[in-house]
Structure 1
Amino acid sequence: MVAHAALVAVLIAFSGCTVGPNYHTPAPPATNTYTPTPLPDQTASSPGASGVPQQFVAGLDIPAQWWTLFHCDPLDALIREALANSPNVAAAQAALRQAGENLRAQMGTTLYPSVDAKANATREKFTGVTFGQPQLTELLNLYNASVNVSYNLDVFGGGRRELESLRSQVDYQGFQLQATYLALSANIVTAAIKEASLREQIEATEHIADDEDAQLGILRQQLALGGVSRVAVLSQETLVAQTRATLPPLRQSLDQTRHQLAVLAGKLPSDTDVPEFRMSMFTLPQTLPVSVPSSLVRQRPDILAADATLHQASAQVGVATANMYPQLTLSASYGPEALTPAGLFRSADMIWSIGAGLTQPIFHGGQLSAQKRAAEAAFDQANAQYRQTVLLAFQNVADTLRALEHDATGLNAQTQAWRAASGSLDLARGQFRVGGVSYLALLDAQRQYQQTVVNLTQAQAARYADTAALFQALGGGWWNDTATSAAAQPPSATPK
């Protein structure tokens, strides 16, 4: 009786024991800025809708549907359709469900006893040798039915650490789902802006080619009158051909971007219901959020997923540690036993058993110690990967902030270059008509103008694309969407 009481006391003492490290999320980097030098209060301005100045606002929250800040209804509709139909989203959702079911399965094993119904039918030959009566021999049938209960008493917390590990896997898949949402929406915004830019580049190039064709007609007339040499006509023909040669690559890029948009939306490239985008359809957001660095590590899905991986690795250290301690199993059974199947329901004898099993690892050839060291090494690896993810995230934000600053100044410079090239071309054409400049001067002015038109269009698109990149770099505001932010919550412990 004293021994029994002592055993109960020991079990109670150890029932709350959980070996292994208790996980704590690493502290955010000790910094208040992303860049070595402060950001300007606002970016440079240029004429036109794409040249409005943008203001950086520290600590401003990000809306869940951040892409609506571009005020493009077709874009909003396409993203919503993509989020509903994308195979990548469906795969991420399935992975989250799988992780949740794996957690529920482990909950059933760890938190609750297993109860099974069992029925046996055997035919055996019985002898009395054991009782000193070898002449006693009998053939008999034996039937029994029982309810068996077993429970692994989680004395040192190995099961609880395994649950902790699986909960972290659920968290990881939940954040991976958020990352899929974010990447999909950002890719669609970027592709739509690229399509709009390509359309403007194509239209501008076609207009330039038409103007050069008109100039070529004038030169041919002058050649017939003896006003210019054949070399001038051939040079203009070369310029027209070179200008038109830039159109097929642009059209190819446009087609590829259209195909990309269709696939991102979960459609076949042949589908024709993907909207066409032009730069005039977008409004450049003038207020840009800049999350404080300490908040970034709680916002970006990739950092949170890396944190969940680190948590899982920490829990696995606890699992490996618990495997080095004794394992205690409780079991019991109860049910009838009879010589005939019908006897099980009438006059059968009731049999029962109750027991406990204790397994203490003694010698496994260094296996358990090696597994623990391997788990610790995996934790160190996950910790290093987490720190690298944080560093890359901060770099991503810093690069994007500087890109927005330089995009604005670059657009301002490109606008001035375009104005100068346009004025120079008009002046060169007028002077060439009256013989004031050579054809080479006109040709040079045409080439400069053509390049500035393309550069200006690309500079305008860069402001929109890098604005979308900033929202993506800061995490996309998923935490403000209650429908999706709840996806990372682990399942309840209710048995089913």
Structure 2
Amino acid sequence: MKLAYKTSVLAVATALALTACSFGPSGEPPVMPSPTHYGAQAQPSKTVVADGVAQQFDIGSTAVPQWWRLYRSDAVDALVEEGLRNSPTLAATQRTLSAAQEELRGQIGSSTLPSVDAAAQVERARSPVVPGVGPTEVRYNFFAGQIQAHYTFDFFGATRYANAAAAARVNVQGYELEAARRALAANIVGTAINVAALDRQIALTERLVAVASETANEDQQRYTLGSLSHAQALNSKDDAESIAASLPPLRQQRATAVHALAVLMGRTPDDAPVVPDLDSLSLPDHVPVAVPSDLLRSRPDILAADAAVNAAAADVGAATAQLFPSLSLTASMGRGGFSWPTLLSGAGGLWAIGAGLSQPIFHGGALFAQRRASIDTYDAAVLHYKSTVLSAFQDVADSLAALDNDAQSLASTERAAQAARAAFDETASRARLGSLPSTAQHASEQRFLNAQLGAVRAGSQRMTDTAALFQAMGELPSAQQHVTSKE
């Protein structure tokens, strides 16, 4: 059985030697479909006009590096820049990447260049001698100094593949850092928009509470005078208390969001930043929509999955190369002797040179199992790449659909708010003339305030979804950003 196994090993090794490409896959990512448009339906060239803005979808545009500046808010720019500069999470990711890069440099240097070491030895020794012949023991000193060198020839690429795999994994960490940086910026912008919207909602809700309380007090007075039923007075009181109960959750949401924003920026929650007013933010009127082929080169998560495919392909090559012989050379030279004069004389010269050849014969099937495992890992990396690309397409499709629907929703809430405002103005005028009771004015104002709340929610959602689309587009990396890992 051992003879048959050895024959199998040699046959496979010979076949692989004759076909260099069999050492491992190329590492190129699989070809993905290039859809004509991202969603189930073709995205429109622009949205409907809402809040005075019809967002244009610039098909084929490249990703925007510092997209948050398109909101034209110095305050938002300052929040993002501080977060990118001070976030401990981002800094930790950067340090991890730096450590991986240094380890890669060390691995490449130690595996591709000869190793040279210096050794020195000083020894005092005692040796027994044959009894009855001469002294009973011999004491002597020994001095030696040597330079030793070692080098392993990478005939079949085991070292090259291993270094390529390590370089690709460093690239994975580099792209993950870029993804973390962009996610941090998106989180800061989204949280700032959320806080600004909550500020507006709290102000409107406080006015709602005040109006509802006035209505409840007036209805209580009318009940006391006998012009209103007790049930109607209690209903007004219930409405006022229900509206008042909605304020604490809004304030809690704001507190949570502000604390989260402070931590994102590397601050403690008690040192939360000042958030800009919602009116100071300008909705970007042009948003880029990269074609799918560009999206594959701009999304950090896709690039990380691509690098993982490269690493897995190199691992297959390294596992295959382990089946082939390994040749190492060792050499040393120096001086030695039993005394300093001998050490320094011509008789003290020492040198050695040797070569070692190793060929795996039988390892209990471990080498073949490792190669099969690396192939399975490569297949899994390819499938993960496909899944990442499909998720990215879905991400963009969802963001585009959201912006289109957000604009329609905002346009509808704006029209509702305008109608409610007109009704409120008319009701207030008639109340001042005495043709309507004040409770009618309060009810009309409540409807107007509720319509404004709907417009604030729709407008802030549109701004947040715009940031999500910018995030989904990624950013084309610079050529020097990552280590080349492909063979």
| TM-score (norm. length: structure 2) | 0.87
How far apart are 1:127 and its partner, in Å? 7.7
Paired position in structure 2 for 1:396: 395
Find the aligned partners of 1:444 and 1:213 in 2 and give their Cα distance. Answer: 11
8 Å CA contact retained: 1:170, 1:490: no
Find the aligned partners of 2:302 and 2:62 in 1 and give their Cα distance. Answer: 18
Paired position in structure 1 for 2:301: 302
Structure 1 residues 82-231: aligned runs within 5 Å? 82-122=83-123, 123=125, 125=127, 140-231=140-231
How far apart are 1:67 and its partner, in Å? 0.3
Paired position in structure 2 for 1:379: 378
- Structure 1's 126 and 365: CA in aligned 2 closer, same or farther, altered over 3 A? farther
Find the aligned partners of 1:238 and 1:428 in 2 and give their Cα distance. Answer: 24
| Residue 41, structure 1, aligned to residue 45, structure 2 | yes
8 Å CA contact retained: 1:44, 1:409: yes
Deviations 1:178-198 (A, max 9, x none): 111100000000000000110
8 Å CA contact retained: 2:126, 2:137: no
Letter in 2 for 1:204: L
How far apart are 1:488 and its partner, in Å? 2.3
| Residue 370, structure 1, aligned to residue 369, structure 2 | yes
How far apart are 1:323 and its partner, in Å? 0.9
Deviations 1:85-126 (A, max 9, x none): 111111111111111111111112221000001123443649
- SS of the residue 1:233 aligns to: helix
Find the aligned partners of 2:362 and 2:129 in 1 and give their Cα distance. Answer: 41
8 Å CA contact retained: 1:29, 1:294: no
How far apart are 1:219 and its partner, in Å? 2.5
- SS of the residue 1:223 aligns to: helix
Letter in 1 for 2:151: Y
8 Å CA contact retained: 1:331, 1:354: yes
Find the aligned partners of 2:215 and 2:136 in 1 and give their Cα distance. Answer: 123
- SS of the residue 1:61 aligns to: coil
How far apart are 1:240 and its partner, in Å? 1.0
Letter in 1 for 2:29: T
How far apart are 1:486 and its partner, in Å? 3.9
8 Å CA contact retained: 1:60, 1:291: yes
Paired position in structure 2 for 1:283: 282
Deviations 1:275-333 (A, max 9, x none): 22221110011111100111101000011011111111111111111111111111111
Aligned-pair Cα RMSD in Å: 3.0
How far apart are 1:236 and its partner, in Å? 1.2
Paired position in structure 1 for 2:253: 253
Find the aligned partners of 1:37 and 1:397 in 2 and give their Cα distance. Answer: 13
8 Å CA contact retained: 1:110, 1:154: no
Find the aligned partners of 2:283 and 2:32 in 1 and give their Cα distance. Answer: 32
Deviations 1:328-371 (A, max 9, x none): 11111111111124543345521211111001110110010000
| Residue 321, structure 1, aligned to residue 320, structure 2 | yes
- SS of the residue 2:298 aligns to: coil
8 Å CA contact retained: 2:93, 2:177: yes
Paired position in structure 1 for 2:6: none
How far apart are 1:474 and its partner, in Å? 0.5
- SS of the residue 1:488 aligns to: coil
Letter in 2 for 1:297: L
How far apart are 1:254 and its partner, in Å? 0.5
8 Å CA contact retained: 2:53, 2:285: yes
Find the aligned partners of 1:342 and 1:397 in 2 and give their Cα distance. Answer: 80
Find the aligned partners of 2:196 and 2:293 in 1 and give their Cα distance. Answer: 36
Letter in 2 for 1:468: A
Deviations 1:237-275 (A, max 9, x none): 111111111000000010111101110000100114x12
Letter in 1 for 2:409: G
Find the aligned partners of 1:451 and 1:105 in 2 and give their Cα distance. Answer: 64
- Structure 1's 317 and 361: CA in aligned 2 closer, same or farther, altered over 3 A? same
- SS of the residue 2:211 aligns to: helix
How far apart are 1:81 and its partner, in Å? 1.0
Find the aligned partners of 2:347 and 2:25 in 1 and give their Cα distance. Answer: 53
- Give the length in aligned residue pairs: 463
Paired position in structure 2 for 1:8: none
8 Å CA contact retained: 2:222, 2:228: yes
Paired position in structure 2 for 1:488: 482
Find the aligned partners of 1:314 and 1:394 in 2 and give their Cα distance. Answer: 25
8 Å CA contact retained: 2:28, 2:309: no
Find the aligned partners of 1:88 and 1:305 in 2 and give their Cα distance. Answer: 19
Deviations 1:368-425 (A, max 9, x none): 0000001111111111111111111100000000000000001111222333445556
8 Å CA contact retained: 1:173, 1:488: no
How far apart are 1:443 and its partner, in Å? 9.3
Find the aligned partners of 1:126 and 1:358 in 2 and give their Cα distance. Answer: 39
Paired position in structure 2 for 1:241: 241
Find the aligned partners of 1:104 and 1:453 in 2 and give their Cα distance. Answer: 59
- SS of the residue 2:46 aligns to: coil
Find the aligned partners of 2:384 and 2:419 in 1 and give their Cα distance. Answer: 50
How far apart are 1:30 and its partner, in Å? 2.6
| Residue 23, structure 1, aligned to residue 24, structure 2 | no
Find the aligned partners of 1:416 and 1:227 in 2 and give their Cα distance. Answer: 36
Letter in 1 for 2:61: L
How far apart are 1:490 and its partner, in Å? 5.9
Letter in 1 for 2:39: T
Percent of aligned pairs with the same amino acid:
37
Find the aligned partners of 2:399 and 2:134 in 1 and give their Cα distance. Answer: 93
- Structure 1's 127 and 158: CA in aligned 2 closer, same or farther, altered over 3 A? farther
- SS of the residue 2:116 aligns to: strand
Structure 1 residues 416-431: aligned runs within 5 Å? 416-422=415-421
8 Å CA contact retained: 2:143, 2:340: yes
- Structure 1's 152 and 127: CA in aligned 2 closer, same or farther, altered over 3 A? farther
Find the aligned partners of 1:353 and 1:17 in 2 and give their Cα distance. Answer: 35
- SS of the residue 1:298 aligns to: helix
- SS of the residue 2:330 aligns to: strand
Paired position in structure 1 for 2:343: 344
Letter in 1 for 2:392: A
- Structure 1's 391 and 342: CA in aligned 2 closer, same or farther, altered over 3 A? farther
Unaligned runs of 5+ in 1: 1-13, 492-496
Find the aligned partners of 2:196 and 2:155 in 1 and give their Cα distance. Answer: 64
| Residue 60, structure 1, aligned to residue 61, structure 2 | yes
Paired position in structure 2 for 1:80: 81
Deviations 1:142-181 (A, max 9, x none): 3221111100111100000011011101211111111111
- Structure 1's 105 and 121: CA in aligned 2 closer, same or farther, altered over 3 A? same
Paired position in structure 2 for 1:458: 457
